[in-house]
Amino acid sequence: MSKLLSSIEEAVQAAGLKDGMTISFHHHLRNGDYVLNMVMEVIAKLNKRDITVNASSVFDVHEPLIDHIKEGVVTGLEVNYMGAKVGKAISQGIMEKPVIFRSHGGRAGDMENGSSHIDLAFIAAPCADPMGNCSGKYGPSACGSLGYAFSDAIHADKVIVITDYLVDYPLKDSSISEGYVDYVVCVDQIGNAEKIVSGTTKITKDPVGLRIAYLASQVVKHSGYLQDGFSFQTGAGGTSLAVASYVEDMMLKEGIKGSFCMGGITGYLVSMAEKGCFETLLDVQCFDLDAVKSIRENPKHQEISASRYASPSAKSCAVDSLDVVILGATQVDTDFNVNVHTDSNGYIMGGSGGHSDTAAGSKLSIVVAPLVRARLPLVVDEVICKSTPGSTIDVVVTQRGIAVNPEKQELKERLKSAGLPIVEIEKLKEMAEKITGIPKSVTGGSQVVAQVLYRDGSVLDTIKVQTEGIGKRSL
């Protein structure tokens, strides 16, 4: 019995790919990923049509998808995040069927509850054995955690592991088990190692970013959650990491021993754990090589699946136990709804990822963003796309002031008493508009180019086509 086939083409044929099927990919190789493009090239060459691509995220490296869509090879796209290149094309209406956006937890949950069916999953595996046991921790394209790929492996009808580092059976320290894998293909390179990890995992030096981060850290400090057992998630952006840095200072100074740090893991969070700020790192994705090294070597640094991270279909998930999350935003509206899907002109350039999952699960969700960006205000009457419901956002921190969700009166009082610059969210909007003027309202065509599903599967919002570069709020 051997699962090892000699080419992606042979594996696609063996798996019985047919027109109309749904195939899936995960995004741990990020902008260095070769696998999605290699597979789609094979599928196009085989003259398959009407394929739906469910990829946990699509990056700019996946630009060739645009041609596959134009040529009818791909007619459906389901993602948790979409980079600006494919995003712009989608916003221009190149695909008839709307893109389906989910959150990281929602994607796993929808596979678990059966509402999202995958016919054929492709696992880009930095190392694998010939029976399909695989891991992201080892090999020349090591990416660390394979967190998002677990659901695909477990729930897809057929699973193809594609690796560039084939080891003897049995792979030690494997993440995804052979029991889920049908075929294994070894290729020259699954990715460009230099681009697998983004270079954007440095603390910001921008004074505005630092001011926002400092204020956010003060919100954390005075929220009451910063005590022994504290759990924390923050992104890889410069401002988010600056928040982590301020939080670290407070934890070390006060000897606070946190429980876990979660999400996409950076070297910065690894070093916080090493300094004793956190007992454990729960890692659904590594953002840099320090994190990759750590997940390989540090037993406190644990790989978790997207389901364990955030699935609403699981009996519980880690976001349910999260104290504080730091989140970004393109836009926030006066109901605290957040847009992370489009830019302020209505073009798709992002997605929820774990945004709405962590906002819903955490005890305290803090949005950090500059009041004005590219001469456009952060706070608007109504976001172009509702990515995360305002009911799950507690605090919005800008360099000019902090708005607290009116549902959180007690928190608001605490923060006020601590002397933080608390303002109404309408005030933030006013302040921004004093700088930018009132922006033109974004108009769009009638075609729906994307549907944003909330983590429970309900439709949160739709995104409309942008025919002239300026769209209109979708409703």
Could you list the residues that contact a copy of itself (CB under 8 A)? Answer: 1, 3, 131-132, 159, 168-170, 172-174, 177-182, 229, 259-260, 279-280, 282, 299-300, 302, 304-305, 307-308, 311, 314-318, 320-321
Contact between 241 and 269 under an 8 Å Cβ cutoff? The reply is no
In the complex with a copy of itself, the residue whose CB is nearer, 391 or 441, is 391
Contact between 96 and 72 under an 8 Å Cβ cutoff? The reply is no
Shortest distance (Å) from residue 123 CB to a copy of itself: 13
Contact between 196 and 16 under an 8 Å Cβ cutoff? The reply is no
Measured on CA atoms in the order 402, 405, 411, 416, is the torsion positive or negative?
positive
In the complex with a copy of itself, the residue whose CB is nearer, 261 or 385, is 261
**Which amino acid, 275?**
K
Shortest distance (Å) from residue 79 CB to a copy of itself: 23
Shortest distance (Å) from residue 163 CB to a copy of itself: 16
> Is residue 252 within a helix (H) or strand (E), and if so which, with residue range?
helix 238-254
Beta-carbon contacts of 314 under 8 Å, excluding residues fewer than 6 positions away, are 108, 109, 112, 307, 308
Shortest distance (Å) from residue 181 CB to a copy of itself: 6
In the complex with a copy of itself, the residue whose CB is nearer, 343 or 357, is 357
Buried (b) or exposed (e) across 73-97, using 16+ Cβ within 10 A?
A: bbbbbbbbbbbebbbbbbbbbbbeb
In the complex with a copy of itself, the residue whose CB is nearer, 305 or 398, is 305
In the complex with a copy of itself, the residue whose CB is nearer, 96 or 169, is 169
- First-to-last C-alpha distance (Å) of the chain: 55
Shortest distance (Å) from residue 64 CB to a copy of itself: 30
Vertex 382 angle, CA 378 and 384, to 5° = 80
In the complex with a copy of itself, the residue whose CB is nearer, 257 or 375, is 257
Shortest distance (Å) from residue 395 CB to a copy of itself: 22
Contact between 109 and 312 under an 8 Å Cβ cutoff? The reply is yes
Shortest distance (Å) from residue 60 CB to a copy of itself: 33
**Which amino acid, 244?**
A
Buried (b) or exposed (e) across 440-469, using 16+ Cβ within 10 A?
A: eebebeebbbbbbbbbbeeebbbbbbbeee
In the complex with a copy of itself, the residue whose CB is nearer, 275 or 300, is 300
Shortest distance (Å) from residue 169 CB to a copy of itself: 5
In the complex with a copy of itself, the residue whose CB is nearer, 173 or 430, is 173
